[in-house]
Structure 1
Amino acid sequence: MSGAESGLPRLLTAAETAAPVDSVDVVAEDLRRRFEATAVSFLIVDLTGQAVARLSTVGAVEGGRQAERIPMSGSVYEQVIRTQRLYQQATGRGQRVIVPVTNRGDAIGLLELLLPAAPSEDVLKAVGEAAHILAYVVIANGRFTDFYSWGKRSRPPTLAAEIQYQLLPPSLSCEAAQFTLCGNLEPSEELSGDTFDYTVDRDTLHVSVTDPMGHDIGAALAATVLVGALRGARRAGADLAEQARLADRALVAHGHGHATGQLLRVDLPTGRAHLVNAGHPWPLRVRAGVAEVMTCEVDEPFGIGLSGDVPHPYRVQDVDLRPGDRLLMLTDGMFEHRGEEVDLPALLEVTRDLHPREVVLMLTSAVREAAGGRLTDDATVMCLDWHGPQETQRHVSSGADVQQASAERRRRRM
């Protein structure tokens, strides 16, 4: 078998027979031999989205597992993550090839190879396929080891931070035919309990952003109760109003103070969207290149409680969501401690052609910079691009069409 022929079954077999912590090394070694590469590396994207960690390098030039952390700003790694396109460069040691390791819009990391000669189109295609498989390898083996979670952390987290990170969805980004979304949490010096969450059912997209009162472990525990209540209600099939009610009751029952929150539910076949706002900042929307605040009715925060056992009613409101809209849900940490100096609507308009993954990083980074690098409250955003209903996706037998549509949208943004 030539190096350009598909080796995907062998890659999967190699990964599945290796120990979870060694699966990426085994895949990298298979690629090194298959393409006669001098070295093959896997770099994972840090939780901050601002650096990559070289977790694995096999080959004659560099050997063994590495812990090198490389800032992405201005680097070729940032370019590949941003464009999601293969990078190729002739060097004194051979041909350097870098490809994104991405799954459904979640930029997991990068696959870097040093080849002895300029690769053919067939080889580049095979390397791209291997990177796609590598994304699944990392996701699957991450269930059994802390190695990949460790790689994503620039520094050891506090107990509150560890709790908070575990409450976030496994993937911070998601691409589908109908939408693209991404969230980002820029933590404060004392973790303040911000969380965001989403899930996709057959016909529904659920999104939430929550912000408990307080800091450190107390806020982390409140966030745990709140997110657990929302997920439990959602998975039991509760409607939006019932999800809000159960979250409110859970905080009251466990005495963990109160929290603001915003719950969004989008019907994928029709595009109809509904919102519950529990004392939370209003969302922002970009339509036809113009950013504006979306005013809505604001109910009491979760956990406030009323006299007696009468729960506070939460109103489910219609959201005007049209194809091409960008919706931003955020916490009040985006406005505090000089964060108000950042013109979020203007920044949204300037970044309207960027992927949500880039937008959330730029927005939270701008707030952190305005605060002199020291936030007093978590700054959290979730960006949703609504492409429009795609009922025909029910009949798609593979992800090829979705991947092609996502690639086409990326090309239009370049």
Structure 2
Amino acid sequence: MTAAPRPDRSESFGEALLGTVLDRAHELPPHLIGPLVADVVRRLGGRSVQILLQDYGQLLLVPLPGEGLEGGAPQVIDEAAAGHCFLDAVTVELPLDDGVRLHLPLLDGGDQVGVMAVTLDRVDDDDRRMLRRLSNLVADLLVTKHGYSDLFFHTRRGKAMSVAAEIQWSLLPPLAMIMPRVAVAGVLEPAYDVAGDSFDYALNGDVLHLAMIDAMGHGLGAATMATVAIGAYRHARRLGTGLKEIYAFMDEAVAGQFGADHFVTAQMMRLDTTTGHLQWVNAGHPAPLLVRGQRVTQRMVGPTTLPVGLGGAEPEVSELGLERGDRILCFTDGLIEEHAAGEEQFGEEQLIDWVNRLETSGRGVRAVARALSHTLKRARGGQTTDDATLLLVEWRG
């Protein structure tokens, strides 16, 4: 019997190119990402490499400094070609006098890490394929190296950040997660001084778990309380308990640490991503909004219990069957209660009006959540005397 021929195991150009990154990734210091990426792009025939990261205010794309990387001024997301790439997670090609400028999304689990920009004399499908795969590796590098360097934090920070905000940002999961069955996107304002607001989520098998909280007060005290609440939520969730038990665990943790006169409003959800079956518990939080057919169709009003920390009764679990494409908007009261001195509050009706306008754009949850937060901030005259946080969830079916 004739033996089957051995497959060709010789290293191709593409494997050698991407292998350069893979071989060095595990021991690469964060500040040497730039030289490595620039070298790989040069071997592909490219030049003028930029790695652009989103600032914490979600307004700008800021060039990552580093040897081999091109600098330049921050780019306004809503105005630049790189911003289009960033918001819609698509490659954008911009013709130049001396070639083509490519902007490639740096994606990690659907979250946009940033944008990689490269100039080539000309572009073909092989270039596009290689650069797309390289950008995927660069995104992974940025995420893994972020855990032990302040380089990326300094790049993204546009101004001084309060201690409370530092704590809150360190608590957060990625601001967005885009998966085949479900998508999540969140925004925190004011980005550099947020204190008591936070959110968390986890996709465990077919179940998406979410929580949004708003700790009473401002500053470091509110941030500390939010830390305890989120830590208690994660602990109870990871034990595999139900929503009622999660509420009880959070309530006991906040009360035990801060006393009976402190509290955290909260909303916890579980979504079966195979069926669209949604369950939630509301502990003193504004009712979420259901967006169906690109319009807000209902306020998800249900039984509520006291905020965690006040020893409320066992909560009732509300339930709803979602339809494919439905979106759920969760938000803290700071989004609708803001007002100028002597004027009326911004109000939920204005929030609903803007949701309806933005939903007609047909854009993904990340772009809509960001646009909604910035639009509401402008409509309030730029005022954010209280934290204003939103979380948009889409069941994709």
- Is 2:351 the counterpart of 1:368? no
The CA RMSD over aligned residues, in Å, is 2.1
Deviation at 1:342, TM superposition (A): 6.7
Matched ranges for 1:268-347 at <5 A:
268-291=273-296, 292-305=298-311, 312-338=313-339, 339-340=346-347, 343-347=350-354
User: What TM-score do the two structures reach when normalised by structure 2?
Assistant: 0.89
In structure 2, the residue matched to 1:214 is 217
Deviation at 1:374, TM superposition (A): 2.4
Residue identity opposite 1:301 in structure 2: P
Deviation at 1:57, TM superposition (A): 5.6
Matched pairs, number: 376
Residue identity opposite 1:211 in structure 2: D
- Is 2:84 the counterpart of 1:79? yes
Could you tell me how far apart the structure 1 residues matched to 2:197 and 2:49 are? 38
Deviations 1:335-381 (A, max 9, x none): 11233287222222222221111111122112211222121111111
User: Paired residue for 2:179, among 171, 176, 180?
Assistant: 176
Could you tell me how far apart the structure 2 residues matched to 1:5 and 1:230 are? 44
- Is 2:135 the counterpart of 1:131? yes
In structure 1, the residue matched to 2:57 is 48
Three-state SS of the structure 2 residue aligned to 1:351 is helix
In structure 2, the residue matched to 1:412 is none
Deviation at 1:330, TM superposition (A): 0.6
Three-state SS of the structure 1 residue aligned to 2:160 is coil
Three-state SS of the structure 1 residue aligned to 2:222 is helix
CA contact (8 A) 1:260 1:302 kept: yes
Three-state SS of the structure 2 residue aligned to 1:246 is helix
Percent identity at matched positions? 30
CA contact (8 A) 2:159 2:192 kept: no
Three-state SS of the structure 2 residue aligned to 1:214 is coil
Could you tell me how far apart the structure 1 residues matched to 2:322 and 2:251 are? 27
Three-state SS of the structure 2 residue aligned to 1:219 is helix
Three-state SS of the structure 2 residue aligned to 1:247 is helix
In structure 2, the residue matched to 1:226 is 229
Residue identity opposite 1:244 in structure 2: Y
Unaligned runs of 5+ in 1: 306-310, 389-414
Could you tell me how far apart the structure 2 residues matched to 1:140 and 1:32 are? 21
Could you tell me how far apart the structure 1 residues matched to 2:218 and 2:72 are? 31
CA contact (8 A) 1:329 1:381 kept: yes
User: What TM-score do the two structures reach when normalised by structure 1?
Assistant: 0.85
Could you tell me how far apart the structure 2 residues matched to 1:19 and 1:313 are? 50
Three-state SS of the structure 2 residue aligned to 1:380 is strand
CA contact (8 A) 2:162 2:193 kept: no
Could you tell me how far apart the structure 2 residues matched to 1:189 and 1:179 are? 29
Three-state SS of the structure 2 residue aligned to 1:137 is helix
Could you tell me how far apart the structure 1 residues matched to 2:191 and 2:348 are? 17
Could you tell me how far apart the structure 1 residues matched to 2:143 and 2:117 are? 19
Deviations 1:208-264 (A, max 9, x none): 110011000111011011111111111121211111111111111111610111000
Residue identity opposite 2:28 in structure 1: A
Deviation at 1:318, TM superposition (A): 1.1
Unaligned runs of 5+ in 2: 1-10, 340-345
CA contact (8 A) 1:265 1:275 kept: yes
Residue identity opposite 1:89 in structure 2: L
- Is 2:97 the counterpart of 1:92? yes
Could you tell me how far apart the structure 1 residues matched to 2:150 and 2:47 are? 28
Three-state SS of the structure 1 residue aligned to 2:253 is helix
In structure 1, the residue matched to 2:153 is 149
CA contact (8 A) 1:44 1:53 kept: yes
Could you tell me how far apart the structure 2 residues matched to 1:187 and 1:295 are? 27
Deviation at 1:2, TM superposition (A): 7.8
Q: Which moved more, 1:5-14 or 1:278-287?
A: 5-14
In structure 2, the residue matched to 1:350 is 357
Three-state SS of the structure 2 residue aligned to 1:360 is helix
Could you tell me how far apart the structure 2 residues matched to 1:289 and 1:148 are? 36
CA contact (8 A) 1:5 1:126 kept: no
| Cα separation, partners in 2 of 1:297 and 1:341, compared to 1, 3 Å | closer
Could you tell me how far apart the structure 2 residues matched to 1:342 and 1:42 are? 40
Deviation at 1:268, TM superposition (A): 2.6
User: Paired residue for 2:43, among 34, 45, 56?
Assistant: 34
User: Paired residue for 2:117, among 112, 126, 145?
Assistant: 112
Three-state SS of the structure 2 residue aligned to 1:343 is helix
In structure 1, the residue matched to 2:30 is 20
Residue identity opposite 1:11 in structure 2: V
